[in-house]
Amino acid sequence: MFTPNPYSLNSRKVAEATDEWLAKRGVSKTQIGQLVHFLQKDYFPDLSLDECIVHVDAVLSKREVQNAVLTGIQLDVLAEEGKLITPLQEMIKNDEGLYGCDEVLALSIVNVYGSIGFTNFGYIDKLKPGILKKLNEKNGEHTHTFLDDIVGAIAASAASRIAHRKQAEREADTNLPLD
Amino acid sequence: MFTPNPYSLNSRKVAEATDEWLAKRGVSKTQIGQLVHFLQKDYFPDLSLDECIVHVDAVLSKREVQNAVLTGIQLDVLAEEGKLITPLQEMIKNDEGLYGCDEVLALSIVNVYGSIGFTNFGYIDKLKPGILKKLNEKNGEHTHTFLDDIVGAIAASAASRIAHRKQAEREADTNLPLD
Amino acid sequence: MFTPNPYSLNSRKVAEATDEWLAKRGVSKTQIGQLVHFLQKDYFPDLSLDECIVHVDAVLSKREVQNAVLTGIQLDVLAEEGKLITPLQEMIKNDEGLYGCDEVLALSIVNVYGSIGFTNFGYIDKLKPGILKKLNEKNGEHTHTFLDDIVGAIAASAASRIAHRKQAEREADTNLPLD
Amino acid sequence: MFTPNPYSLNSRKVAEATDEWLAKRGVSKTQIGQLVHFLQKDYFPDLSLDECIVHVDAVLSKREVQNAVLTGIQLDVLAEEGKLITPLQEMIKNDEGLYGCDEVLALSIVNVYGSIGFTNFGYIDKLKPGILKKLNEKNGEHTHTFLDDIVGAIAASAASRIAHRKQAEREADTNLPLD
């Protein structure tokens, strides 16, 4: 007698798929780290790229973030292959201005590190530095309607994480009295 | 010489596809109207089902709502057909407890009518009255991981819309002086 | 025998108080309209400042927006007068980087016009053009920790509203066929 | 010559003020823990109240949460004392149905632990079990318009945290292969 295995989530698989798919879609952690460095270098002049990458890794270890990455990339890939229903296909393929589910998923990433990340997200989403510019090149080959916003959101979240950590370090150093 | 038409959004098509796909997935406006009635009948005893359906229609006329409906149903359908990447396929197919992109899309619907809808959304999402119970029956045939939350969000939004309108009517009736 | 009047919301009063307090805190609708124009002029070269102000007025007519404006200004005023509890007083007075309730309230405004406004909000919140620069001058006299973000959010919402309306006009003009 | 100390955030003070004000307003961590237990007991029958309180403490250690708690309680206290501007005073004092900034602040708490908490927040916010019932008694003495929603949000967040941790434990136990 055959009993099918009941479904059981395997978190390691979700984490690994997130890493694999980001790489497959042309995004490295170094490139996301560069966005973080761009956002934070004026506030923390000693901040190194390596340190930024550590924070990117921490953001990517969150399940909420992994879910958004996989879901967004999935929709991009299917739009690229022309496999979505009409008119969703056309809206995602053309990064239609009134289609905002990409921003919605991106914001669910930013929220995990709190509201102080909103500003940074909007700022790089508009400026498109580094890898964001490349993702946004609409050359007909690839569709990155979701990934574009998601990568910006990961960078903004890592920037928020740095702001929180730096504050903790500063307070540990100065050993503030409670008075 | 052939020049392909540049992309141009056709809003009527988006609205029509939303209506068609809701029907195809087994959800009628009357059923959503019944959820609204369930949520609001204690506050407005004279509220009719027909009135509720009018508000459901108004919610469904918003582009932000249509985008979320089409995106969510698309992911449900693909999960049903086993066409998503691993482990997204397994997470959506099994309505995995730690996968929250369905709630994220649903909340983007509720937000359009303001924060007073959050409570109603959570309440019927937990209680699963009416059509929500049917959508949530996991009998192996259909996957409604997203639609479930989206229908609840539409009902919660229509309930918020009613609360705003009823207040306006009350004030018009009583012709409130300014001080 | 004395019976106190039961509470009854007067929406006109809420709307009027919103207008009055924005003016009292040094923000005119023209100045918000200029932010909207700054955000949208590249996409719609014919857009006039007057048109922008009409959209600002529409955004300000929403109860959700009025609630956020009044709540934010209230907290600014109390911080200015030194009347908040410690350490909330210090955090708001100094626009502390890890305090994000100002961004939270601002985002509740943006949400009403959908997720496409997130980017514009973050962008002007970082760039601080026009009135935002003035609100952000920390000269010791006034505290605009909340108002700063709220004005940016109203402008971003008006920009979203314009994007939706312009699309509708375009479609009406071209009389798009359905297939 | 006297130079005033520049502002420097003291995180320990923010954390302590949060604990003190929750206690002063009549909310104990045990009572919030009971809400968490109410939400999760059916999913995890072995879950103890003590374990729930540990998770409540973890949620309360987040700065984003502390900011929302202090801001919400501040507005409640000022409304209680009649010190807010008109008509904000009347709206908060009377927990006006169309005033949603309390839900907005509450959701900023829930967001930190991800979207899976939305449902639980809405559910207990409507049902008002335990301490929420007490906070919601409008006997004229106290105003808990914000605290009510904030306590529900803390409980919903702790429930989300438990769901994430229990999954991690389950996977560690079963030592899932990656195949």
Yes or no: say if A109 and A64 are a contact pair by the CB < 8 Å rule. yes
The encoded tokens of residue B174 equal: 């009583």
CATH of D26-157, one of 1.10.3760.10, 3.10.180.10, 1.10.3720.10, 1.10.10.1100: 1.10.3760.10
Q: Looking at the complex, report in whole angstroms how far the Cα of residue C165 sits from the nearest Cα belonging to chain D.
A: 26
For B108, the 3-state DSSP assignment is helix
**What contacts B161, CB < 8 A, 6 or more positions away?**
B55, B58, B59, B113
Max intra-chain CA distance, chain C: 71
B10 touches chain C (CB under 8 A): yes
Contact status of B5 with chain A (Cβ, < 8 Å) = no
Q: How many CB pairs under 8 A join B and D?
A: 75
Check CB contact of A85 with chain D, cutoff 8 Å.
Answer: no
Query: What's A86-129 look like in SS3?
Result: CCHHHHHHCCCCCCCHHHHHHHHHHHHCCHHHHHHHHHHHHHCC
Report how far residue A111's alpha carbon sits from residue B117's, in angstroms, rounded to the nearest whole number: 19
Handedness of CA D98, D29, A111, B126 (dihedral sign): negative
Distance of residue B157 Cα from the nearest chain A Cα, in angstroms:
17
DSSP assignment letter at B84: S
Whether the predicted pLDDT of B47 surpasses 90: yes
- Give SS3 for D121: helix
Q: In sequence order, which residues have a C-beta less than 8 Å from that of residue A157 and are 6 or more positions away?
A: A59, A65, A109, A110, A112, A113, A117
CB contact under 8 A, C11 and B168: yes
* Domains of chain C by residue range: 40-170
> What does the pLDDT average to over A48-60?
98
Chain B residues whose CB is inside 8 A of the A88 CB are: 17, 70-71, 74
Q: Are the C-beta atoms of B37 and B47 separated by less than 8 Å?
A: yes
pLDDT band for position B4 (50/70/90)? Answer: very low
- Closest CA relative to residue D113, chosen from A141, B53, A108, A143: A108
Partner-chain residue, chosen from B11, B64, B115, that has the shortest CB–CB distance to C115: B64
Q: What does the pLDDT read at residue C138? A: 79
**Which of C39, C104, C119, C151 is the best mutation test for A, with the most CBs of A within 10 A?**
C119
Question: Can you give the pLDDT at residue B179?
Answer: 38
One-letter amino acid at B12 equals R
The fold adopted by the segment(s) C40-170 is YutG-like (1.10.3760)
| Disruptive mutation site among C9, C111, C167 for chain B (greatest number of B CBs within 10 Å) | C111
The CATH code of the domain at B64-167 is: 1.10.3760.10
> Which of C118, C125, C136, C176 would you mutate first to test chain A, the one with the most A CBs within 10 A?
C118
Helices (H) and strands (E) in chain B, counts: 9, 0
Question: Do the beta carbons of residue A105 and residue A72 sit within 8 Å?
Answer: yes
- Decide if C125 contacts C102 (C-beta within 8 A): no
- CATH fold of the domain at A12-160: YutG-like (1.10.3760)
Rounded to the nearest integer, the mean pLDDT of chain B is: 92
B172 pLDDT tier (thresholds 50, 70, 90): confident
> Predicted confidence band at A3 (pLDDT cuts at 50, 70, 90)?
very low
Shortest Cα–Cα distance, D156 to chain B (Å): 11
Q: Which range is least confidently modeled, A62-71, B169-178, D97-106? A: B169-178
From the list B84, B98, B100, the residue facing A9 with the nearest CB is: B98
Q: What are the b/e assignments for B77-91, b being 16+ CB within 10 Å? A: bbbbeeebeebbbbb
Q: Which chain D residue has the Cα nearest residue A163?
A: D63
Neighbours of A168 (CB within 10 A): 12
Which of C62, C114, C176 faces B10 most closely, judged by CB atoms? C176
Tell me what the mean pLDDT of segment A39-51 comes to: 96
pLDDT at C177: 45
pLDDT at D4: 46
Of C158, C63, B159, C88, residue with least CA distance to D100: C63
Q: Which residue of chain C is at minimal alpha-carbon distance from D87?
A: C14
pLDDT band at A158 (very low <50, low <70, confident <90, very high): very high
How far is Cα C7 from Cα C63, in angstroms, rounded to an integer? 18
Task: Put residue A128 in one of left, alpha, beta given phi > 0 → left and psi -120 to 50 → alpha.
Answer: left
**Could you tell me if C52 and C163 are in contact, meaning their C-beta atoms sit under 8 angstroms apart?**
no
Report residue D94 CA to chain centroid gap.
21
Sign of CA pseudo-dihedral C10, C12, C13, C18: positive
Exposure of D27 in the CB half-sphere (CA atoms within 13 A):
33
Token pair in block for residue A129: 């530095």
Q: How far apart are CA D106 and CA D118, in angstroms?
A: 10
pLDDT attached to residue D133: 97
Q: Are C156 and C39 in contact (CB under 8 A)?
A: yes
ipTM: 0.93
Q: What residues of chain C score a pLDDT lower than 70?
A: 1-6, 175-179
Which residues, at least 6 apart from D18, have a Cβ–Cβ distance to it below 8 Å? D60, D65, D66, D69, D70
Residues of A with Cβ-Cβ distance to C106 under 8 angstroms:
118
Decide if C118 and A114 are in contact by the 8 Å CB cutoff. Answer: no
The sign one gets for the Cα dihedral B156, B157, B163, B165 is negative
The encoded tokens of residue A43 equal: 């506030």
Name the band, by pLDDT with cuts 50, 70 and 90, for residue B6.
Answer: low
Alpha-carbon gap, residue A91 to A84, rounded angstroms:
10
pLDDT of A153 above 50: yes
What's the confidence (pLDDT) of residue D6? 63
The average pLDDT across B131-154 equals 93
What is chain C written as a DSSP string? ---PPPP---HHHHHHHHHHHHHHTT--HHHHHHHHHHHHTTT-TT--HHHHHHHHHHHHTSHHHHHHHHHHHHHHHHHHTT-SPTTHHHHHHTT-TT--HHHHHHHHHHHHT-GGGHHHHHHHHHH--THHHHHH---SS---HHHHHHHHHHHHHHHHHHHHHHHHHHHHHHT----
User: Percent of chain A scored above 90 by pLDDT?
Assistant: 83
Sorted by sequence, the CB contacts under 8 Å of residue C81 that are 6+ apart come out as none
What is the pLDDT confidence band of residue A4, given thresholds at 50, 70 and 90? Answer: very low
What gap in Å lies between CA A15 and CA A5, rounded to an integer? 22
On whether any CB of chain B is under 8 Å from the CB of A70, the answer is yes
Q: What is the pLDDT of residue C62?
A: 95
Whole-angstrom distance, CA of residue C71 vs CA of residue C131: 20
pLDDT tens digits along B61-94: 999 999 999 999 999 999 999 999 999 999 999 9
CB contact, 8 Å: B1 with chain D?
Answer: no
Q: 3-state class of A36 per DSSP?
A: helix
Q: Is D112 on the interface with B (CB under 8 A)?
A: no
- Distance between D179 CA and the closest CA of chain C, angstroms: 39
Mean pLDDT by 10 residues, chain D (179 residues): 61 96 98 98 96 98 97 98 97 95 96 92 96 89 96 98 92 61
The rounded Cα C147 to chain-centroid distance in angstroms is: 8
